[in-house]
Structure 1
Amino acid sequence: MWRWAIFVPHPPIIIPEVGRGEEAAAAKTIEGMKEIAKRLKDELPDSLIILTPHHAMGRGLHVICANQFKGDMGVFRARNCRLEVDGDPELASSLAEYMESKGLPVSRSKGRLVELDHASFVPLYYLNKTWGTLPKVVIANPLGLDYEESYALGKFLRQFDANDKNLGIIFSGDLSHRLIPSAPAGYHPRAKDFDAAVVRAFETSNAEELLSLPEDEIERAGECGLRSALAFLGMAEGEPISVLSYEGPFGVGYCTAIWMPTKAAKGGSSGVESHPYVRLARLSVEHYLKTKQVLDPSQAFSLSPQVDLWSKRRGCFVSIKRLDGSLRGCIGTISPVRENLASEIIYNALAAAFEDPRFMPLSEEELTGVRFSVDVLSDLELVASVDELDPKVYGVVVEKGLRKGVLLPDLEGVDTVEYQLEIAAQKAGISSLKGAKIYRFTVERYEEVEKDL
């Protein structure tokens, strides 16, 4: 079962033993790497797959079947910075065979002791600092795949069955290498557009823009991470990706991002699988039903210690639906009104359960028959034209005078911009859109999902 996937850059300079103080220029990237490590503190997998553009390359996806990997940062003036990790040749062979069965071109190499490339070493360095150990590793290079095949690789990875092993995967890749005149691959004034497209793709969990990039735009960027990025997006299958950082301090674009599955994996046990945001929403309601008290923040922290719950402020909506999909309650905030996202979720969950005027308060007997979801909102963006709207991608806020109506994106039956605006206006008692302001926003949606038997 897949536990998580991360997209990370691989500049050796962000390792302190290499940077020797110069790593401070990449502070955002280092914080992103540390944030990933914190989120994965209790998520040590049985085996770890690394997709890197800098190891041995062959036809199609090149899979390295090794008993052990070993490397150091000697070429970057830090020979004493070393890593050794066991390989998982059985998993490597299974992965190669599975991808071949799906029609992807695959090549392989074997070895007892194989050198770690720097694009694998850098993320392993940060994970090793957190875990104190490393799981068995499989390394593969996607550079022999075209872009469509790279995206398909991600989708096939999502389906890959590792015989009840818990798996994690690292998609290693730097973005444009031509962001500034002193960049290592030269400079192009539009190289930054490529990086912006990748970040947008992650934020929307949608690969369409990247798959339609002209070849000359890709060439202008001088990238090494597009295939890894496309595979990362294919694996997420449209589920929310959290972008933790982006910067280009040395003329090379560095992005850190993480995906943790919200959909149940095949072969899972019965019950409900949920993201920490959704667990917090449910726990808040359960706690109130039992104690008639709001869940104390200190208790909430012990249940959901994810750093971003406590460090960021975002508006959010909590929805409660019956098992047949019908709504049982939905309340939220367009902009944050609490001190952090954790408190925002707690209070909006209680409001959705007990204060939605369309429904009676939720009872304890109903808990097993409802499912929670949490939508975390982006900042509002004023639109100049309805052409900028898409009901599947953007939620809307219609504002006129003191009245304000909101509708979340990607709702069943809401297929046109006109109908989306009509519903949002009706909710606020706005009879005409003339003179109204229209805002759009995106959401990161987290849902409770039934696990397959």
Structure 2
Amino acid sequence: MNTNIRPAALGGYFYPAEPQDLRGLLDRQLAAVSPPTNPPSSPQRCPKMLLVPHAGYVYSGEVAAAAFACLRRWHKQIERVVLLGPAHRVQVRGLAAPTVGAFETPLGRIPLDLEAMSGLKDLPQVEWLDLPHAQEHSLEVQLPFLQSVLGDGFKLLPLLVGGAGPAQLAEVLERVWGGDETLILISSDLSHFLTYGEAQARDQVTVERILHFATDLSGEEACGAAPLNGALAVAARHGLQARLLRQRNSGDIQGGDHSRVVGYASIAFEAGPGAGDLLEGEQILSSDQGLGKLLLAIARQTIAHRLGLGLPSPPALEDDAHPALARPGASFVSLHDAQGHLRGCVGSLQARRPLIEDVRANAFAAAFCDRRFAPLQAEEWPGLQVEVSLLGAAEPLRVQSEAEALAALRPGVDGVILAWRDRQATLLPQVWAQCPQPAQFLAALKHKAGLPPDFWDADLRLSRYQVRCFNESACADGAES
């Protein structure tokens, strides 16, 4: 066994160097937060993955503590922590794994999981280098928190990410994903050195993109974009659901400078509800018109509140508002301008969170995070048209060729999901109005996935689903869309 140690390098800078002082600060920051409860309809689960910031504890410690506090009750379960962060000081071609046997902090030594690390040695994107780790803060600042909440019963697998793409990082993560004994920890701050107001606006959009499992985050959005993009791809593949725990920036501390701030967020990624917890497709598609009016109001008020139009905040979830709101559901929110042109469309293909939260998040993202369009402006509000689609369960299309796929599609009925390798795209059934022929529809779906119109591969997978669509004109007339 390798007995070399990577010593602590940041004591006295990012956190207190003396063990007693460090423990006291950690205790205070962890005590200041309480883990948010999961929705009443789903059991409490241990996070499988966490996003945490990596600034000095005085700046981001309480945001990080909101994530680490979630682990306390699971300290006996978690045996391994896979820790990934960006390489700030030394250039790394792909991913850098250390050759030492342990990492040290003022609170003691953490042994590395050498067996799991040896399982990565055949991957060309993994380099075995100690120099990038020597002074790197993105990983070290997480270690005292882990020691505080997990004790000494876990092993560490630390990886610094440089030029690795999402697919390369996903390949690594799949090998070490493990089961309930393994926690994936992603270290990243958000925006850097914007004014307070600019950072708030940008970080809100970035957080929504993370909650929607975006895999094209940039360094301007998050300094840990490289590890995040790959981790989010794997998290989506494993059906995790994302939950924002806390968000702030360095300007929020007492006496903080508002002219140049750094943004922070902590997000938990948990196993999604089991099949028995989901809204069944038939239940969704038979939902009443009253639910549609409520969802449209929630979507519109969410957007209006963000635009600062003086309208009340989105309605709080009440026990008797509608039984479907508290249960997991998948939705798409589509926006059109006064001329009927698409202005934004974002949604969820799987029911990972309560329906009311899903519609709120998708309404915000459709208005301000759809990269095909500029963020919505207040002057567009008067002509804005809102549409909410509730998705039924997707079923695989068992086809062996494109000809079989074209014959199986039902124009005007099917929404379709295309998945091939790391690419995925979907078109709602409403798109049949612009592409009435199956060949046109499938070609448009391929184009959205970044594939040529004549592309076909044996590994290409298609699934279809149905939707219940609510739009404001139909609901105002008392009719169904």
| Correspondence list, 1:111-122, <5 A | 117-122=136-141
- Alignment equivalent of 2:102, drawn from 56, 68, 92: 68
Question: Per-residue deviation at 1:418?
Answer: 3.3
Partner of 1:107: 127
Question: Per-residue deviation at 1:433?
Answer: 4.0
| Correspondence list, 1:26-425, <5 A | 29-30=63-64, 32-38=66-72, 41=74, 44-54=77-87, 58-72=92-106, 82-97=107-122, 99-100=123-124, 105-109=125-129, 117-143=136-162, 145=163, 149-160=164-175, 166-180=181-195, 195-208=203-216, 210=217, 218=219, 221=220, 224-237=223-236, 239=239, 240-250=241-251, 251-262=261-272, 275=273, 278=274, 318-320=278-280, 334=295, 337-338=317-318, 348=324, 374-375=328-329, 384=337, 387-390=342-345, 393=348, 407-409=389-391, 412=394, 413-414=414-415, 415-416=427-428, 418=430, 424=468
Question: Per-residue deviation at 1:86?
Answer: 0.7
Q: Distance in 2 between matches of 1:158 and 1:420?
A: 38
Instruction: Return the letter of the residue paired with 1:200.
Output: E
Instruction: Return the letter of the residue paired with 1:198.
Output: T
CA RMSD after TM alignment:
4.8
- In 2 relative to 1, CA 164–259 (structure 1 residues): closer, same or farther, beyond 3 Å? closer
Q: Distance in 2 between matches of 1:34 and 1:336?
A: 27
Q: Is the 8 A contact 2:85 2:138 kept in 1?
A: yes
Q: Distance in 2 between matches of 1:337 and 1:49?
A: 36
Question: Per-residue deviation at 1:142?
Answer: 0.6
Q: Distance in 2 between matches of 1:174 and 1:197?
A: 14
- In 2 relative to 1, CA 392–12 (structure 1 residues): closer, same or farther, beyond 3 Å? closer
- In 2 relative to 1, CA 150–36 (structure 1 residues): closer, same or farther, beyond 3 Å? farther
Q: Is the 8 A contact 2:284 2:392 kept in 1?
A: no
SS in 1 for 2:50: strand
Instruction: Return the letter of the residue paired with 2:147.
Output: N
- In 2 relative to 1, CA 107–234 (structure 1 residues): closer, same or farther, beyond 3 Å? same
Q: Is the 8 A contact 1:198 1:229 kept in 2?
A: no
- After superposition, what is the alpha-carbon deviation per residue over 1:260-300, rounded to whole angstroms, capped at 9, x for unaligned? 344xxxxxxxxxxxx3xx58x75xxxxxxxxxxxxxxxxxx
Question: Per-residue deviation at 1:43?
Answer: 7.0
Question: Per-residue deviation at 1:406?
Answer: 6.0
Q: Is the 8 A contact 2:79 2:153 kept in 1?
A: no
Q: Distance in 2 between matches of 1:405 and 1:383?
A: 8
Q: Distance in 2 between matches of 1:374 and 1:258?
A: 17
**Unpaired runs of at least 5, structure 1:** 14-18, 73-81, 182-188, 263-274, 283-317, 352-372, 398-403, 438-453
- In 2 relative to 1, CA 31–409 (structure 1 residues): closer, same or farther, beyond 3 Å? farther
Partner of 1:9: 53
Q: Is the 8 A contact 2:52 2:64 kept in 1?
A: no
Partner of 1:293: none
Instruction: Return the letter of the residue paired with 2:247.
Output: Y
Q: Distance in 1 between matches of 2:69 and 2:198?
A: 30
Q: Distance in 1 between matches of 2:178 and 2:467?
A: 47
Partner of 2:453: none
Q: Is the 8 A contact 1:391 1:410 kept in 2?
A: no
**Unpaired runs of at least 5, structure 2:** 1-45, 252-260, 296-314, 349-357, 364-385, 395-413, 416-426, 434-465
Question: Per-residue deviation at 1:128?
Answer: 2.7
Specify which structure has the bigger relative contact order, considering alpha-carbon pairs within 8 angstroms and separated by 6 or more residues: 1
Q: Distance in 2 between matches of 1:237 and 1:106?
A: 23
Q: Distance in 2 between matches of 1:388 and 1:222?
A: 23
Instruction: Return the letter of the residue paired with 1:7.
Output: L
SS in 2 for 1:156: helix
Query: What is the percentage of aligned positions where both structures have the same residue?
Result: 15
SS in 2 for 1:95: coil
Partner of 2:383: none
Q: Distance in 2 between matches of 1:241 and 1:49?
A: 18
SS in 2 for 1:408: strand
Q: Is the 8 A contact 2:53 2:264 kept in 1?
A: yes
Question: Per-residue deviation at 1:178?
Answer: 0.9
Q: Distance in 2 between matches of 1:194 and 1:93?
A: 40
Instruction: Return the letter of the residue paired with 1:243.
Output: L
SS in 2 for 1:252: strand
Higher strand share: 1
Q: Is the 8 A contact 2:280 2:392 kept in 1?
A: no
Q: Distance in 1 between matches of 2:181 and 2:98?
A: 20
The total of aligned residue pairs comes to 300
Q: Is the 8 A contact 1:66 1:89 kept in 2?
A: no
SS in 2 for 1:390: strand
SS in 1 for 2:145: helix
- After superposition, what is the alpha-carbon deviation per residue over 1:398-419, rounded to whole angstroms, capped at 9, x for unaligned? xxxxxx9963147652344637
- In 2 relative to 1, CA 420–167 (structure 1 residues): closer, same or farther, beyond 3 Å? farther
Q: Distance in 2 between matches of 1:405 and 1:58?
A: 45
Q: Distance in 1 between matches of 2:336 and 2:227?
A: 33
Q: Is the 8 A contact 2:334 2:387 kept in 1?
A: no
Question: Per-residue deviation at 1:140?
Answer: 1.2
SS in 2 for 1:174: coil
Q: Distance in 2 between matches of 1:244 and 1:173?
A: 15
